[in-house]
Amino acid sequence: MNKTAMITGASRGIGRAMAEAFAAAGYDLVLTCLQQIEELERLGRELEHTYAISCRCAAVDAGSYEETAALFAAIRRLDVLVNNAGIAYMGLLQDMAPEEWRRIIATHLDSCFYTSKQAIPLMLARGGGHILNISSVWGNVGASMEVAYSAAKGGVNAFTRALAKELAPSRIQVNAIACGVIDTDMNHCLSPEELEALRQEIPADRMGTPAEVAALALQLIQAPGYLTGQVITLDGGWY
């Protein structure tokens, strides 16, 4: 029987690349998105056909406990949880509405609590498992004009380290990837000039790719059990 991995925010970008990588590695999948369910279901069918795995797709607001609980109600086995769902916000903190702040925190940080809370009993029943959180370099160093996003990702990093200590005796590994500039739709709000300025700051002289994040994710899932509580930066030497 195949192992099962859940990946949130899987309709595009990093999440899509991870879905493809985990399917190629033989995992059955549970994939979620917020709005692009038709695109996600199309991906699911392609992965099932190509890799002979099963794939369940669902439109779920990762920042809603009720919606994540409804999803988990139908899940009986889970070996890997990848918390990837994310949204962007750029602007001055003084101009940010309270509901915009709440949305950023809910999507990035509350979602890790909601999914992990419900995944842990399933992993305990299996005698172990893996929780992988997709974070950002801004969670390490902070970013002007992205205070809420930075605060949320800083929380994800702390959440990762603390939960790893709590779950280590149960053989559930908890790690995070702090991504640098990855070439996804989330960065398309930046102008070509801004993207070029960013590229010039990165020692690797380019943005990262979703496939590179996916490859590292698989490596972490396959890593020795002693590797837990780590926030691993993938940024081309930027920070």
Q: What residues are annotated to the active site?
A: 149
Residue with tokens 């509350």: 110
> CA angle at residue 156 from 66 to 103, to 5 degrees?
50
* Contact in structure between 99 and 120 (CB atoms under 8 Å): no
Q: Which residues pair with 28 in a beta bridge?
A: 4
55: its two tokens: 């794939």
Query: How far apart, in whole angstroms, are the C-alpha atoms of residue 53 and residue 23?
Result: 7
76: its two tokens: 């009986």
Query: How far apart, in whole angstroms, are the C-alpha atoms of residue 64 and residue 80?
Result: 20
